[in-house]
Chain A
Amino acid sequence: MADYSKFEALNVQILGISANIPFSQKTFADSLKLPYPLLSDAPDLKVIRNYGGLNPQWDMTTAQRWFFLIDLQGIVRGQWRGSTSEVFPSEPILKVAREIAAKR
């Protein structure tokens, strides 16, 4: 979230998707003052399943902490896998976003 403005400057829209219900997501977003939207994939978990991101450690009921970067043509240009125990660095994602922006 500290690098949100860097993503914004590169015209990257951040979306968070989780298995939580919208009510729970609102509390989470307000608590962290998130500047981007959270989308609820409950109860079907269809999007998380389609991205292969269901977490086997939680009986496939939650999402793994994965990141996807999708370009303007809808093509996935990068995928990164984080863990729940540490903050994932945004620099590798920003690097690819800068490369995409440079080619535009």
Chain B
Amino acid sequence: MMRRIISSMAACAIVALLTALNAVAAERPALPELLKALNVSGYPSVMQPPEFSGFTADGQKASLAGLRGRVVLLNFWAAWCLECRPEMMAFEQLHRELSIQGLAVVGINAREGTSTIREYAKELGLTFPLISDPTGKINSAYGVIGLPTTFLIGRSGRAVALAVGPREWSAKPARALIQALLAEPAVLKGTR
């Protein structure tokens, strides 16, 4: 009798938990709304961003494949780009707050030397990886023709969002989108 009461209590607890999770999911706006709120464009679900690999200004090897399973915020920037500067501070903030939850903030520089990148990182106190792209190969593969340009990639590796020009990355719409992506599983239904 006691065992039956305990098992029915456990069943009730599971039902309550699932109801609560459903309520949380229902409260979260759908992806198109989140993209619209941040004024960024989306991608068809099958579109994968191009693979890249390179070195950070500190000589560490980095690649997109190495970030699979994490939400990637990929920002293309240059030291001469004035509009990139305020974004960098927001990216640093997001990196410090959300990397523990699975966010990988990565900067791809546009055709500048490693000493310029290192000085810039030191001046702004940036600690997230800044990859050097001296020949512009990665910039070209991503079709970047203006700075700043930022991409969001989901945990499954699919391209999610494109922002041409600056955005308020530490404000609510950006955070809501990133949090929604962090809540996604690494393998989405129907993808592999």
Contact = CB atoms under 8 A, between A and B. Distances in A.
A24 interface: yes
A25 B162 CA distance: 12
Contacts of B159: 23
B164 A30 contact: yes
How many A residues are at the interface, by size bracket? 10 to 19
B164 A31 contact: yes
How many B residues are at the interface, by size bracket? 10 to 19
Contact of B145 (A21, A23, A26, A28): A28
B4 to A, nearest CB: 57
Interface string B21-38: 000000000000000000
B140 A24 contact: yes
B173 interface: no
Interface stretch (B43-51, B60-68, B94-102, B114-122): B43-51
B109 interface: no
Contacts of A27: 142-145, 149, 162, 164
Nearest to B140: A24
A30 B140 contact: no
A27 B159 CA distance: 12
B146 interface: yes
A84 to B, nearest CB: 13
Interface in B136-160: 140-146, 149, 159
Interface string B148-192: 010000000001001010000000000000000000000000000
Contacts of B142: 23-24, 27
15 contacts: A21-B50, A22-B47, A23-B49, A23-B143, A24-B140, A26-B41, A26-B43, A26-B47, A26-B143, A26-B162, A27-B144, A27-B162, A28-B143, A30-B162, A31-B145
